[in-house]
Structure formats: C-alpha cells, structure tokens
Amino acid sequence: SSLRPFRPYLSSLLDYVRGMTSSQLRRLFVVLFTVGGNDDDGDDGMGGPRKVGVGGCDDVQIVIRKYLAMPSAFLKRIGIIGAVAYVVTGSANIVEEEFDPEATELEEGSEDQTTPLSGAATDVINMLDSVRDSCGVGAQNAFGADFDESNGDTALAYFLDELCLAVRGGRLAGPVKKWVLGNFSASLEEFLGDLSDPTESEPSEGVESQMVIDDPSDRSIVSGTSGNRRSPRGALRFNIDVDDAVVYVKFLSLAASDNPSLRSSLTQLCPLLRLLATCHDTRYDGIGLAEIDAVVGCPLFLPKSDVCSCEGFYDLFPDQQLAATMSSFYAASWCRELVNTFVHSAAFPPNADTESAIDPDEASQDGSDPEELRRKLVEKIKALIEIQEDLKFCSSKAPQFTPPGLAPSVPPRELDDLQRIIDDEYDSDDDMGFADDKAREKEIKKRAKIKEKAKNKLTKARKKYEESLSERSLGALRPISSSACLVLGFPECSVIDAAPGASQALSMCAGEMRKLKVGGAVETLLFGQLQETIDKIFPKKKIAWLKSSSGGSTGDDEQSIDNPYAAQSLLPKKPGVDNEKFKTLDEFLAGYVFGGLYEHMATIAEIRGGADTEDNDEDEVDRNDENLLHCTSIIFACVRSLLDADPLTASARGRKYLEQIMKQMTSGDRTVSYEVGDRTPFSLPSLRKGLADGFTMIEEMVMGGDTDDLAFAMEGVETLEAFLRCALHVESALGNISKGAEEPTEVQGLRKKLSEICHKLLRRTWSDDAKYNKATVGKLVTLYVDFSCSSIPTDADQAAKVDTMALGRLEALSVIVNDMLTELTNTEDCKGPVDTYPTCSSHSFGTLFSAVLNFFPNELAFIHASPLAASNKTACKTLEYDLRLVELFCDLFSLTKENPELAKKPHLLSQLKAGSAFLHTFNSKAVKFLEKNFQDNQKTALFIIRAVQTVTKQMGNVITFAKREKDSALIKEAPRAKRLMEAFLHKIKILMRKNNCLTAIWQGTLTEKNIDGSTVKDDEEEDDDDEEEEEGSGEEEGGSEEEGDDDESEEEEDD
C-alpha cells in the first residue's frame, strides 16, 4: 500500500524491459503485481481490499502478452518472466480463498480440466496455459513445436528454468505445482529409450552391457547398418547400472535426427530434469526423487569412443561431426545436472533427524541405498570428465556447432588469407616469365620461403581458433552447482577409502600412505569447483558490488541467482549478516567436505614430505608426479580462498566457522560434529592450533620432493603467507595486536617458519625454464627479510645486552647483501650463479637488488619507532644498529660503482629511488636522534654521517650520468634526490654547529664523476652555473683538516 502512489513511475519502467537483466525483470514484475491493480481500481468490488494478482494491472498484462507473441526466444523471455511472476504473486490469493487442492488435481499428461476453478486459480492456470501455448507445446507432444534450431536457448527452456526458480521460491500454490507435473512429467520419457533383457549370452558390439536396445533405428546405429547419413556409429556408454539398466538417454538419436524439431529438443532436456527434480525434492515440499532415480545410472547413447578421436573424427561427414559434437555437449550438460540434482539427497538423507555427516546406514529421499547413490554419482563425474574431453576435441574440429545461446562462430579472416598464400601456384617455370634461370630460381626460393612462413602462421592461427571453439563450448555447458562439492566428503571419494568413523589417515603408517593414489581427475574437478564456490560466496572487495548487482542468466548455478520469488527475498537484510553464505559452509561442514580436503592434504604431505627409504617400493607414488602437483596447486588455491575470506576473520560468527573449518581440515575426524550455532563457543587456542597445523601440512607439501618447479613452490609459499595473514587478521580483530604490543607467540612462530622456508627456497636449484622475476625470487627475498624480524625487548636493560645482529631484520639483510649479492661479483663477469644461492645470477640481480634496497628506508624508520630508540640506556645500541644498516646500504651502492657489468640503467634507477627514500627517512628520523645523543656517542655518530655521505656521492654520480646520457627515467627522479641531499647537508651543518664541531667539515670544489667514481674528462669549457661549492673530506678533495678530538666527517652537494 505504501508503494501504490508510485505505481505510475514503476509502470513507466515497462518501456525499458528489453535492456534489463533477468534478475531485474523478476523484481520489477513481482513489485508491480504485489502493488496491485491500476490507479482507478478501488477494491475488489465487494467492499474488501484489493487482492494481489486479481484484476487490474492491465498495462502489465499487455506487456506480458506482447512479448509472449514475439518470435525471438530472447524477447519471449520477458513475457515468460512476467507470467511466472504473476503466477507466484497470484498463488497467495489461491491460499486465501482456501482453495481445495484436490479439486484441481490433473491426471498425468492431461490438459483437460473437468473441475471448475475459482477466482485467482483460474487466472493463474490460464496464464500458465498461455505461456505453454506460446512456447509451442502441444497437447500430444510437449516438444513437437517447430523451433528454430539456430535460435539457441528456446522459449520452452526459458519457461522450464523460470518455473524451477519459482518452485524453489516456495510460494507456489498446490494446484500450480500439480499443473507443472501434469504437463511435463511424461515429457522426460520422450528422451529415453527402453532396454530389454539380453537375448544373447555375450554383449552386442558397441554395447558395454548385455542389455538390448528396443528401438530398431538405434540398434542399426549401434551395428553400423543405419541409413541415417547424419549419424556416426554409436554405442551405449557409461552404463553404471550394468544389467539393472532399464532405459537409456537418446542423445545420438536426437542429435542425428532429420527432424530439426527433435534436434532442438535437446535444449530443453536439462531444464526439464531440473524442474521435475525440484518439484519432487523434499527440500521444496516434494515427495522424493524416486520417480526419476532411474536416470542416475542409466547408459548414454553416444558416438563410439573411437569416433571422438583424431583418426575417427576426421573420417566423418560434416553432418556426422555435428551430431557427434551435439550429443557430447548435451551429454556433458546432462551429467552435470544429474550431479546437481541428486548430490544433496545422497549427502543428507531426509529421514535423518538433522543434517549430519554422511552415514551409509541412512536411506536417501528416493528410497534407494545412499551408499549406492553416492557410488553412482562418483561414477557419473568420471563419465562427465571423459565426455568433456570428447567435447573439447570435437568442438575444436567442428566450427559448424553452435552452443545454445551463442551466435554462430565466424572463422578469422587470417585463416583464409594464409591459406590463399599457401595455395598460390605461381611457381612453375612457364608462369614465372624470367629469361634468366638464376633470377627464376631466386624467385622460386623467395616464394617457397613465404609459403613456409605462412604455413607456420596458419598452424598457430588455426590452433588458437580451435582452442577458442572448445573453450566457448565448455563454457556454455550447464553449470555445476556448489552442492557438487559435497562429493568430496563421500567415503567413496576418499583417497583412503575410509569406513564410517574416524579417518583411517590417523592410523595408517607413512609407507601405506605413500601408496595412496591422489591427484585424480575427479578430485581435481571437485577441488576446482570448491575454490570457485568459496570465491563466489566470499568475493573480493573490488568485485563484490559487481557480483551482487548482476542477476545472472537462468542457466546459472541456483545458489548464485537472486531469487525474488522466495518469500523473504524482498525483505531487508540485517547489516553484516548473510545467512546464505554461512548456510553453504554449514552444508560443507556437515558433509565433511573439508575433511575430504584434509585427507588429500595429509596424503600429499606424506608423499612429498616423507623421508626417503633405501628400498623404494614400486607401488609408492612419485612425489613429483605431474597430476599430483596439479591437484596440489588447486588445493593451495582452495585453502587461500578460505583464509583470505574477510567475513571469516572480521566477524564473531565468521571466526566460529573458521575455527570449525580448520578443525575439520587438520584433524579429519568423521565422528566429531562440526555444527556452528549462536551458542557455539569460540576457542581462540583451538583456532590457533588449527592454523599452525595447517601451516605445517602445507610446508611439507611445498618443501618435500625436491621439486625443481619454481612456479609450484611459489603457489605453496603464497598459501603459507595466507595462513600468516589470516592469523594476523584474527588477532587484530580480537584486539590482541596493537601498536607497541608484542605479537602472540603463535604468530611469531609462523613468521619465523615462513622466513626460513623462503631462505631455503632461495638456496635451491630450479629448472632451466624457471623465471626469476619479481613474483618469484623477488617475493622470496621480500618474505625472507620481512618475516625474519626479531622482536625488540621492551625492557631497556635487557635490550642493551642483546647482540645488534639479533635485532630487527639486520641479520637477514646482511645475508642477502654479503652472502648473496656481493658474492655475485666474485663470479666471472658477474654472471653467476652464486654457488650457495643458485637463484642469484645476472638475470635475477635486478629483481634481488631492487627488493632488498626497498627494505632499508623502512628498517630505519622501524628501529627509530621501536622501544630501542625510546630509552637513553639503549641509545648507543640504536646508533650501532644505524651504523651497521648504513654500512650495508653503502655496500649495495658499491656494487654498481665497482662493477660496470651491474651498472645498468634499471639498477641505477632503483638505486636512486631507494637512496632518496632512505635520505628522507634519515633526515626526518635519524638526524633528530643524532642531535639528542651526539655528545655521548660522537664517534659513532660521525661514522654514520660519513657513511651516509658516501651514499650521497654515488647518488650525485648517478645524476651526472643521467644528464650525460639523457635518460628520462633517471632525470625524472633527480630533482627529488637533489632536494633531499641538500636537506641532509643543511641538517648536518646545524647538527655540527649545535655541538661545536663545525671544524670537522670543510668546503671544496665539485667535480663531475662517472659511475665508478673516476673524474669525467671533458675538453669543453664548463659553464659557470655547473660549479658549486661543496663540503667534503680532505682525502677526497685534497683540502686541509682540523685536528682535535672530533673525527672527520664528509658531505657533498651536487646540482
């Protein structure tokens, strides 16, 4: 009623429906029908209030019927969505009228309604009939309409998907659901063929079981005697039921049919199964899936396996290639939909009191044995993987195949142009027109070279085009539901083949675990789906708004579609609460999904991290097996997605879930309940232990096996970093990490372990094709130095006794500078690699050099913000730290000064930028500290100033080099460096004047120098503006020096 004054504005949006997404259309029509009739409609004609969906809304009805009459299925979609929204909102009035559901019960497959309907029920049923008729559904054959085969998703597929969404919303009245079942239940049988008992003791050729196909046309396709030239030779494949199979799915029969209507009917198969399964599912008030359970393990009628291979596919006619590709495409979508449909029933039998971990003793909602159903689903996923491989190959070789909803593929023009060059025949002697044989031979060789080049280009272009064809076909498949991840918790999918109860991984010996097979195609597919699901429910902040605003198509995963047909979907949500996200985690915890992840992680950790034995068992898995490493990489991605989910660390509820997830992922105990509720206590020690145990498992997976794959190792390092990052987020959210406070011991332990791991990886030899760049060795150096930081005692007396090298990051910086980068100069022509650090060579020097340079400004700021610089008792220790830090910085600058091979422009740019940043920090932090403690630590202070002046000298040489070489990048950085050098000069002057040490410095004449410090020889007359006064040491410029208690200090300024 509050929205009624705004109805004209809402109705005006009907003019823009063509540009709206499906989600926007649903919301618009639901709001319009909820508001009610037109403005001139006062009530229901009997003095009562207006009823939703009855009368009025004439403008909306006109729009719906207008688009239902459109020939385009895409435009007809608008009318379908509007009609279903009308049915959903109108269902509320059927309940209000206390309509007798039995009065509208339809006989299955019947359309005649003998019992008169009343009020809103008549309007709703009539609207459904209108949509059905507009989609071309006849009384005798639901899929007999003459659809345009090239139209992609047909109108009927849209209608079935939209009805499925409405049923899941839970607002449809009983007569509406019965109308759906009455009109579409029998339609599924049109896609199925019957199998009879075998008449021979041996199976027929091309048939995996001994069942006999009743349809003679299909039997002839199997035997190869069919007169249908569109059909390749077929077979019943993936027969999970074996001799118990009673039906098969007729993919090849329909795809190879001469009737375009039958070929296009495959488009509606998956939406039909989804709708019928939703109506029968007990989660949506159905009676169970027993009516359709025969399709789970039944065989699929597809081309023979050798037809979809390289040899067999090229021998087919184009129409046969199209039929083979079509049947593979729809078979893959069918397998995906079957998994989506039955996985929840297999994981959570509805007769159990609550959703709990999988128990084989419970019966599923379809009345079958849950263990048998789970086994069939695992086998169905294996079949899906094989079918998708067939589809990947066939679709790449059949550009004539167009997936539903996509435009026909147009080959790149480049292919024709290159083929034309190759087919050029102007290389015969008669056509060349050359009198000179030498000129003719030269021209022939030239054209042959052009042709050879064109052939190579054509091969690459054709390969790229074929890859695009296969990618778009795989991308157009029916999406796999997030619920499919529940298969990971099935005992049938366990690498240990565990019986009910505690995981056997806890009791198996190391030798037995090394023989377990991991990294299979099924696990790889499911782990990939798990990672996508986690990213979907916990999207990154940068794209979160985009994800939430997009409606998605009707073919999207049902959990990713915003369903305004649900009863509570239009109500505002509480801030910070998203029950759907945590509901998915509840299912995963109850289904032991993270326990399945644990079993794989524990097994891989033992395979890769276990100790080598003298007698290697042939049954043991190769720790560097390609499939094993690929599966491990996907597991790393899953774990990172979990640990990087902000809702799991920022909120109290999320931390409870994170605790239970880590407990299941690191213990693997099937006997423990992992429920999370409002009264579930949160245990920080338990979460810390889970993070530490998970870190240890990932460490074994990364460090074991002595792999030479650097990219794989970096994925593991990123995962370890995610554990540390998650621990820091949790401690910070709980207030355990504040400014000046010491980190918890568990967090410090993770820091040290990650630093040591990165150090070990820097010392490992990698494959020749390993890439040493910022993302690999640069990241390893950064993590090694950053997390090597030793805590500084808050007690001044204790801090004064600690060795300087044991504070902060000084030790790690010393290792990188002295043992790694400096050792490179001892190799021939500075090419490397360094013996103790094979990752350090001329190719990686720039990355390592830049990474370590960036730490010095931050480290200087860190030490002056620490407790070490806050007390007078540790002032000497602070200055000693500063001196060692500046000396290391000087050593880095000396590398390019003393080694011309390393003095490259990118290295000099990194040096100049880092020098500017270091001077900025020194001027703002260290100079003030020097002023305060100069009198008591004069000697150390002057050594520090002298070392910094060495840095400024080299920076001046780099600036001079930039001017001389006219390098724009270096020249751009020069003004900032000059300002900071001048500021340093003036601050030191002030410091010396305040402490009566001005005689320790003197002035001299600036000379232009090279990178190596040698004086530039120039015969041209120097401009007067290029000469400046400078302050420097006597040994540098040959000036006089004051003698006294003060040591010498030197400084230099360059223009």
User: What confidence tens digit (pLDDT) does each residue in 514-523 have?
Assistant: 667 777 889 9
| Contact present, 632 and 640 (Cβ < 8 Å) | no
What's the Cα-to-Cα distance from 795 to each of 743, 745, 806, 871, rounded to whole Å? Answer: 16, 18, 16, 9
Q: How confident is the model at residue 1001 (pLDDT cuts 50, 70, 90)?
A: low
pLDDT over threshold 60, residue 558: no
Q: How confident is the model at residue 104 (pLDDT cuts 50, 70, 90)?
A: very low
Question: Residue holding tokens 């995906």?
Answer: 336
Question: Residue holding tokens 């640069």?
Answer: 778
Query: How far apart, in whole angstroms, are the C-alpha atoms of residue 236 and residue 300?
Result: 5
pLDDT over threshold 70, residue 1033: no
Non-local CB neighbours of 353 within 8 Å, separated by 6+ positions: none
Q: At residue 709, what is the residue type?
A: D
Per-residue confidence (pLDDT) for residue 113, from 0 to 100:
44
Q: How confident is the model at residue 839 (pLDDT cuts 50, 70, 90)?
A: very high
User: What confidence tens digit (pLDDT) does each residue in 431-479 have?
Assistant: 555 666 777 788 888 888 888 898 999 999 999 999 999 999 999 999 9
Least Cα distance to 947 among 1006, 1011, 880, 873 occurs for 880
Which of the 8 DSSP states describes residue 307? T
Which of the 8 DSSP states describes residue 819? I
Q: Tell which wins on pLDDT, 280 or 567.
A: 280
Per-residue confidence (pLDDT) for residue 425, from 0 to 100:
63
Query: How far apart, in whole angstroms, are the C-alpha atoms of residue 369 and residue 7?
Result: 54
User: At 438, is the secondary structure helix, strand, or coil?
Assistant: helix
User: What confidence tens digit (pLDDT) does each residue in 736-782 have?
Assistant: 876 556 778 889 999 999 999 999 999 999 998 899 999 999 999 99
Segment among 54-58, 360-364, 516-520, 948-952 with least mean pLDDT: 360-364
| Contact present, 1051 and 945 (Cβ < 8 Å) | yes
Per-residue confidence (pLDDT) for residue 400, from 0 to 100:
92
Query: How far apart, in whole angstroms, are the C-alpha atoms of residue 121 and residue 175?
Result: 8
Q: How confident is the model at residue 165 (pLDDT cuts 50, 70, 90)?
A: very high
Per-residue confidence (pLDDT) for residue 422, from 0 to 100:
83
User: What confidence tens digit (pLDDT) does each residue in 698-723 have?
Assistant: 998 888 767 788 999 999 999 999 99
Residues facing 194 on adjacent strands: 247
Q: At residue 393, what is the residue type?
A: F
Q: Across the chain, what does the average pLDDT equal?
A: 80
User: What confidence tens digit (pLDDT) does each residue in 269-305 have?
Assistant: 999 999 999 999 888 888 888 888 889 999 999 999 8
User: What confidence tens digit (pLDDT) does each residue in 327-358 have?
Assistant: 999 999 999 999 999 999 999 876 644 444 44
User: What confidence tens digit (pLDDT) does each residue in 678-694 have?
Assistant: 677 899 999 999 999 99
Query: How far apart, in whole angstroms, are the C-alpha atoms of residue 474 and residue 326?
Result: 12
User: What confidence tens digit (pLDDT) does each residue in 842-888 have?
Assistant: 999 999 999 999 999 999 999 998 888 888 888 899 999 999 999 99
pTM assigned to the model = 0.83
Chain mean position to CA 930: 51
Non-local CB neighbours of 22 within 8 Å, separated by 6+ positions: 77, 81, 551, 552, 553, 554
| Contact present, 763 and 837 (Cβ < 8 Å) | yes
Query: How far apart, in whole angstroms, are the C-alpha atoms of residue 167 and residue 158?
Result: 14
Which of the 8 DSSP states describes residue 362? S
What's the Cα-to-Cα distance from 308 to each of 253, 299, 316, 380, rounded to whole Å? Answer: 16, 18, 10, 19
Least Cα distance to 86 among 44, 45, 121 occurs for 121
Phi, psi torsion values for 1029, nearest 5 degrees: -80, 145
pLDDT over threshold 50, residue 235: yes
Q: Tell which wins on pLDDT, 559 or 941.
A: 941
